[in-house]
Amino acid sequence: MERAQKFLNYFLSHRKVTNELIKKIDENNYDYKPTETSMAAGKLVTHMLTSFYMFSKTVKEGSPAVFGEKFEEIAPNLSEAAENYTEKTIEIISSLTNDELERTIDMSRIFGMEFTGIQLLQLAIDHEIHHKGNLFVYVREMGHTELPMFVSR
C-alpha cells in the first residue's frame, strides 16, 4: 500500500485546493460562466468530482464499467458534494494494491487506448489540475482575490 499512500498524498495536495475554491462559490454563482460557450461553475465542479471518482473506481475494478453509470450533472450543494466525493475517492485510492496499480485496463472505448492503473490515476490528477486551473479564473471573476497556491503541501 506504500505506493497507494504516496498517490493519496499527491491527490490530496491538489484536491484540498479544489475544495478550498469550491467553498468560495456562492449558490447564486453555480450558473456562472465566463463566456457563453464555457461550462457553468456548478457543472464544472461536479464534472471534476465525479471524474476523479470514476477514474479511481476504474482502477480498483480493472474495468471502465463505472463510466456507463449515471451521475448528477450538477450537484445541488457543491461543498457537500466535494466532501462526499473526496471521502469516497480517498477510500478507493487507499485500498489500491500494487497489482491493481500495475494492471492494464482497456480504455479503448473511452480514450482509444489501454492504460495501467497508475497511468490512469496520473491522467485523473492531470484532469483535476487542468479544471482547477479553469476554476481559479472563475473564482477570481466572482470577486475573490485571496486565493490559495495551486498545490498544497
Q: Is the dihedral of CA 79, 80, 83, 88 positive or negative?
A: negative
- Take residue 68 and report the three cell numbers written for it: 456507463
Pick from 15, 24, 57, 131 the residue near its own copies by CB under 8 A.
131
Taking CB under 8 A as the criterion, the residue among 3, 20, 38, 67 binding its own copies is 38
Q: What's the closest the beta carbon of residue 83 comes to its own copies, in angstroms?
A: 23
Q: Which position among 7, 52, 115, 138 is part of the footprint of its own copies (CB under 8 A)?
A: 138
Q: What is the DSSP string of 62-110?
A: TSGGGGGS---SS-SSHHHHHHHHHHHHHHHHHT--HHHHH-EEE-HHH
Q: Residues 25, 35, 68, 72: which binds its own copies (CB under 8 A)?
A: 35
Contacting residues for 58 by C-beta, under 8 A, at least 6 apart: 64, 65, 66, 67, 105, 107, 120
| Number of other CB atoms surrounding residue 87 within 10 Å | 9
User: Which residue type is seen at 149?
Assistant: M
Contact window for its own copies (CB under 8 A) among 20-28, 31-39, 69-77, 84-92: 31-39
Residue 24 engages its own copies in binding (rule: CB under 8 A): no
**Would you say 59 or 124 has its CB closer to its own copies?**
124
The verdict on 14 binding its own copies (CB under 8 A) reads yes
For 51, phi then psi, to 5°, come to: -65, -50
Binder among 79, 84, 116, 134 for its own copies (CB under 8 A): 134
Q: Which is nearer to its own copies, 23 or 144 (CB)?
A: 144
Query: Are the CB atoms for 75 and 46 separated by under 8 Å?
Result: yes
Which residues bind to its own copies, rule: CB under 8 A? 14, 34-35, 37-38, 112-113, 123, 125-127, 129-138, 140-141, 145, 150-151, 153
